[in-house]
Structure 1
Amino acid sequence: MTTTPDSVAPETVTLRDGLGPLRDREQVAQRLLDSSAHHSFDPDAELDWDAPFEDDKWFWPPELVSLYDTPLWRQMSEEQRKELARHEAASLASLGIWFEIILMQLLVRHIYDKPVTSAHVRYALTEIADECRHSTMFARLIQKAGSPAYPVTRLHHQLARVLKTVSTTPGSFACTLLGEEILDYMQRLTFPDERVQPLIRGVTRIHVVEEARHVRYAREELRRQMVSCPRWEAELTRISAGEAARVFSLAFVNPRVYTDVGLDRRAAVAQVKASVHRREVMQTGARRLTDFLDEVGLMRGVGRRLWRSSGLLA
């Protein structure tokens, strides 16, 4: 990220493009630190990792499984549907680990030149600690479920290497929100769902509570960056965020899950792409984010066209 040393004192910022008033960076960070002190979890102690899975429970709500309500889904047995849900939960956990490792590196770059005693930096370090716990929690969940890990493709892995090395500050926070908010939507549907395995519900509950702070931090900083960054950087962020949305939509579920449960991979992928239900789920999950990005000026021109091509924007 492109950064410069900041003062810890309250800022005055000249607004442009109707982005609205900015909240003081230090006050926002202090509120998030206070929340972290009262609502943070140790997954190793909080969750019952020794309890056996329940035979009649799902590993992911069926309506959120990629093939739900497709012709192939209707041909599958209930046992095979639940097996697919188990593998998709592992795929999403694998995606979450990949994404959070990227996010931690972006946050470290963001604070590198900033005052180490500021609340803004202290909260970033607190968030990095949260993400470390989330990654180990997801890895333990994959292992407990007896599923393979599902890494992203080599191409997406290398593209992310470039992103975390050269991304500008607003681009980094836009990509952060992309990874956090769609999964957050699905997890908010999962943790209260009594059809789902208790361990899955516990993992998603912890993630939802702690990610709410991460989303707030990223939104406030992205709004600030879009006010102060040069116009070339704003345009670059529109394009990079749109391209990231396209990559994210492709990487969301590893197609190997279909092979691993005995399905024809090409047929499954084709039916997911054609599924009206799946498109509605993904677009609904992204809507809160796309509305916000539109508000701060990131859904224009080429960027908006890339978001449409990702399937995440209606």
Structure 2
Amino acid sequence: MTSADVHSSVRGDTARRLLDSSETLSYDPVHEVDWETPLDKDFHGASPEWSTLYGTSYWAEMTPEQQKELTRQEAASVASTGIWFEMILQQMVLRDFYAKDPTDPSFQWALTEIADECRHSIMFARGAEKLGAPPYRPRRTAVELGRVFKATANGEAAYAAILVAEEVLDVMQRDWMRDERVVPFVRTINNIHVVEESRHMKFAREETRERLEGAGRLRRQYNALVVSIASYFIVSSMVNRSVYAHAGLDTRRAVREAKANEHHKAMLRSSCAGLMEFLASCGLLTKAATVFYKRANLI
């Protein structure tokens, strides 16, 4: 059996396991999430410790009601950014499997993942609306670069970028879904996303490793930089600066203190420790890439 045959067999086995898992443990947000109960404003929208202002002097001056409103707006912004990237993800995966063997378990898993992401995007949209938030969107530069990325990224660049976005969300959402201070319907949304995204992350890791088999130094250097730039725009787009105005805060002061907030930076770095180890093991944590990961506070 050739090396290619071995990889194909391993890839197929992984896809079959993921398909089996999807059959036994998947959710329908339409029925699983409590959409009918009115929003209870006594709850946060996310764990307060994950707020961009938590630990700042501005946070200390805010009333409990303002703090809760801010975390609700921030949670809605993260959800909106998630929708934006999930649309990029779906297009990259569709391009990757275009005209390939539909009997291949990997092909079938790719379609299953896309179906999951469609449900997740609708779930996030309804969740943001219920949190009383406007339609937050990434800044124009990020949107246009995303347009190029989704049309051109392939192989390890596509799957490593997918992994970065999913890993960052995964860690914070694991905190939110266990936190009884967070409004119950958001906890349910986070639980659904964490369970189903764990399969997506497994596939993205396998695909990244496989696509890098035999890759030369120049290719690794180039794709490492591409992934790091994409990661910077994904992470820096998570909390739209408009959340502060919608929470009734002074936007200029809030943005200034959020940018200097060492607590939030530490939360991001700790959430990405395992991810950075994985990228390093694949040769995708280069000196040039590290510059952008540091700008995104992931290192």
Bin the TM-score by the shorter chain. Answer: over 0.9
Q: Relative to 1, partners in 2 of residues 1:184 and 1:62: Cα closer, same or farther, differing over 3 Å? A: same
Per-residue CA deviations over 1:164-201 (Å, capped at 9, x if unaligned) read 11113111011101110011000001111111111000
Distance in 2 (alpha carbons) for counterparts of 1:70 and 1:267: 11
Question: Greater shift after overlay, 289-298 or 302-311?
Answer: 302-311
Q: TM-score by structure 1 length?
A: 0.91
2:257 maps to 1:271:
yes
| Aligned-partner Cα distance in 2 for 1:288–1:297 | 14
The reply on whether 1:168 has 2:154 as its aligned counterpart is yes
The answer on whether the counterparts of 1:23 and 1:220 sit within 8 Å (CA) in structure 2 is: no
The reply on whether 1:121 has 2:107 as its aligned counterpart is yes
Are 1:27 and 2:13 counterparts?
A: yes
Alignment partners' CA distance in 2, 1:11 and 1:158: 42
**1:18 alignment partner in structure 2:** none
Bigger shift: residues 245-254 or 155-164: 245-254
Cα shift readout 1:26-74 (whole Å, capped 9, x = no counterpart): 0000000000000111100112211123342111111111100101101
Name the structure 1 match of 2:68: 82
Which moves more between the two structures, 72-81 or 264-273? 264-273
- Among residues 192, 196, 206, which one is paired with 1:210 in the alignment? 196
For 1:64, which of 50, 70, 73 is the aligned residue? 50
Is the CA contact (8 Å cut-off) linking 2:165 and 2:235 kept in structure 1? no
Q: Which residue is 1:147 aligned to? A: 133
Q: Which structure 1 segments of 5+ residues have no match?
A: 1-9, 16-20
Distance in 2, Cα, partners of 1:206 & 1:95 = 17
Structure-2-length-normalised TM-score:
0.95
Deviation at 1:157, TM superposition (A): 0.4
Query: Which residues of 2 match residues 236-275 of structure 1 at below 5 A?
Result: 236-275=222-261
Note closer, same or farther for the CA distance 1:23–1:185 as it changes in structure 2 (3 Å cut).
farther
Corresponding letter in the other structure for 2:222: L
**Contact kept? 2:92, 2:154, Cα under 8 Å:** no
Aligned equivalent of 1:46: 32
CA distance in 2, matches of 1:68, 1:205: 23
Shift of 1:113: 4.0
- Say if 2:41 and 2:68, in contact at 8 Å, map to a contact too: no
Change (3 A) 1:54 1:263: closer
Could you say if the C-alpha distance between residues 226 and 73 of structure 1 is closer, same or farther in structure 2, counting changes exceeding 3 Å? same
Contact 2:76 2:133 in 1 (8 A): yes
Deviation for aligned residue 1:22: 9.5
Secondary structure, counterpart of 2:42 in structure 1: coil
Does the alignment pair 1:307 with 2:298? no
Q: How far apart are the structure 1 equivalents of 2:57 and 2:9?
A: 49
1:190 to 150, 173, 176: 176
Q: 2:6 matched to 1:12?
A: no
2:102 and 2:229 mapped to 1: Cα distance?
Answer: 33
Between 259-268 and 125-134, report the one with greater CA deviation. Answer: 259-268
SS at match of 1:303: helix
Which is richer in helix?
Answer: 2
> RMSD value over aligned CA atoms?
1.8
Counterpart Cα distance in 2 of 1:153 and 1:308: 20
Q: Is the Cα–Cα contact under 8 Å of residues 244 and 251 in structure 2 kept in the other structure?
A: yes
Name which of 103, 106, 115 aligns with 2:89: 103
